[in-house]
Amino acid sequence: MIAHLGDRERKFLYPEDRRLAFIFKPYVWVILAVVFIAPVTIAWIQYLVSGLPADPSLNFPPEKISGPRGFPAWIRIAHWANFLFLTLIIRSGLSILMDHPRLYFNAGCRLNSEWLRFTPVKVPKDKIWTAKDDARYISPVIGLPGYRHSVGLARNWHFLAVPFFILNGVIFVILLFTTNQWERLVPRSWQIIPDSWKVFVHYVTFNFPFEPNGFFYYNALQQLAYFAVIFIMAPLAILTGLAMSPAIDSRFHWYPRLFGNRQAARSVHFLVMIAYVAFIIVHVTLVVATGFSRNMNHIIFGTNNLSNTGLLIGIFIILFVTWLCYAALWISWHRPRSLQRTQKGFNETLWKHSMNLFKPRVHYTSKHISPYFWPNGNMPASDKWKQLAATHFKDYKLKVGGLVENPAEFSIDELKAMAEEETITLHHCIQGWSGIAEWKGIPLTKIIEKVKPLKEVQAVAFYSFGEGLYGGIYYDTHSIENCKEPGSILAWEMNYQPLSIIHGAPLRLRIENQLGYKMVKWIESIEFITSPKTIGKGFGGKNEDDEYFDLVANI
């Protein structure tokens, strides 16, 4: 699948070390035991001491049920559409996760504070270990598009599928409550809790309860599970996803705190995915075990008979979705630019007219500063940068040009004399990690005022001394409107110290409503341009050109 790529790309995408691990903190094992083992143990004790509880489903034979019967076409269509969208979302989500294979409950991603990691590698203390180094390979059988460092392509699939998943869910819920189908899913009595426990005891002790015909109604545990999937898990997945948006976090600081912080939201987002996978496994198992042909006729034709026609068509749909997954993989590596353009055309305008309108606000204080801030990016290898670094950038000059009335060069001291602004912000990396730090630098508005861009200027390009992942000068672009946002600065200070070499000296960009890769480090020069299409490969930045990242990166 990636054989057509160059040697350098294959080296990064398909590394020699492809090990994965599942390493929990000890306290997580205790929680898992309480959540999963304790209920099963209690159920077995009840069974051995008191016998099986009465099966509540026996009180509701189908002929006595007055609620909805059967599954109308809109439920059947929504069911299979949801199957496709969830498949794309879960598989692309796994690829995104592996670009930073650690989960935390603290916003600063402190070293060794992750509650779960998927990498066997501990962060070495005797060398620079970047977030890019920490990424792991994932098989394309599991992840979309799989491999390593493919987070840009994975995000394209994720954000193409998510709007349709939400739309499908909204239509489903509207139709649910404008018909009597809600009665099948929404509990109307707290009696469902003890009844669900009774059914659970039957299942876990391998004394399967009376299985009601789903064409007429679900047992208490089934009803509770379907209610949770639709009205708890789906909204939670959406809300925690939004809590990872830099545009939302930088403007509505209270919102991520609903889940604890950004990283806690990311952890909950992952746990919801696990809950979906577990539900799908149990759901499919029970569909097969309780009358495969009849159940498939329910959800294919909306009929209640034992014909094998629904089963055959259902198998065909599953095979078709499998083929679509392969097609998505093929598109990812043979038509990645088309995929990038499609996602851009679908979402970029929406984001520009929604999230990108949010104005960042200062919120954090020095007490929030993270004790660790992941380094990232390829350190500059140019002799020019090394010579400047050797003299602590005493001779450094920031070059500012392009379509401006007053091209100029500024030393660090000259920039400091023009203006200073200090912010303490949460950094959002596209890989998933975050960190809170103090930054001091010059507001970009002051540079804009000094050089006077021409009226046709729509974007600003920031060039680095460093290289991109696959080589070539690293750069990125921002709209000139974003450069004028509050907190948009060129920083020479981090955490009350001169900006370190590893974190971007002499200058690094901070634009707080965007993801971290847009905040160029080791800045050499700035160019005012008419459009991102006029430089590089025309997609707005080195990661956009080579790794198919988003141009507008606020989610």
Q: pTM of the prediction?
A: 0.93
Residue 367 has which token pair?
């007490």
> How far apart, in whole angstroms, are the C-alpha atoms of residue 222 and residue 185?
9
Instruction: List pLDDT tens digits, range 107-136.
Output: 999 999 999 999 999 999 888 999 999 999
Q: Which amino acid is at 44?
A: W
> How far apart, in whole angstroms, are the C-alpha atoms of residue 136 and residue 499?
29
Q: Which amino acid is at 315?
A: I
Instruction: List pLDDT tens digits, range 338-366.
Output: 999 999 988 888 887 787 788 888 789 99
> How far apart, in whole angstroms, are the C-alpha atoms of residue 223 and residue 551?
43
Question: Can you list the alpha helix ranges (DSSP code H) found in 244-360?
Answer: 246-251, 254-257, 262-289, 292-300, 309-334, 336-352
Structural domains of the chain in order of their starting residue, each with its CATH number: 7-100+135-352 (1.20.950.20), 361-546 (3.90.420.10)
CA-wise closest residue to 440 among 352, 359, 366, 351: 366
Q: Please, which pLDDT band fits residue 59 given cuts at 50, 70 and 90?
A: low
Consecutive H or E run containing 390: helix 383-390
Helix-helix angle 151-177:73-97, to 10 degrees: 150
Instruction: List pLDDT tens digits, range 138-171.
Output: 999 999 999 999 999 999 999 999 999 999 999 9
Provide the total of helices (H) and of strands (E) in the chain, helices listed first. Answer: 21, 13
Instruction: List pLDDT tens digits, range 242-295.
Output: 999 999 998 898 999 999 999 999 999 999 999 999 999 999 998 998 899 999
Q: Please, which pLDDT band fits residue 217 given cuts at 50, 70 and 90?
A: confident
> How far apart, in whole angstroms, are the C-alpha atoms of residue 208 and residue 230?
25
What was the pLDDT predicted at 518? 95
What was the pLDDT predicted at 357? 80
Secondary structure class of 429 (helix, strand, coil)? coil
Residue 232 DSSP code = I
Q: Please, which pLDDT band fits residue 1 given cuts at 50, 70 and 90?
A: low
Helix-helix angle 262-289:292-300, to 10 degrees: 120
> How far apart, in whole angstroms, are the C-alpha atoms of residue 471 and residue 462?
17
pLDDT at 333 over 90: yes
What was the pLDDT predicted at 472? 93
DSSP states of 336-356 as a string?
A: HHHHHHHHHHHHHHHHHTTGG
Check if the beta carbon of residue 448 is closer than 8 Å to that of residue 322: no
Report the first-to-last Cα separation within the chain, whole angstroms: 29
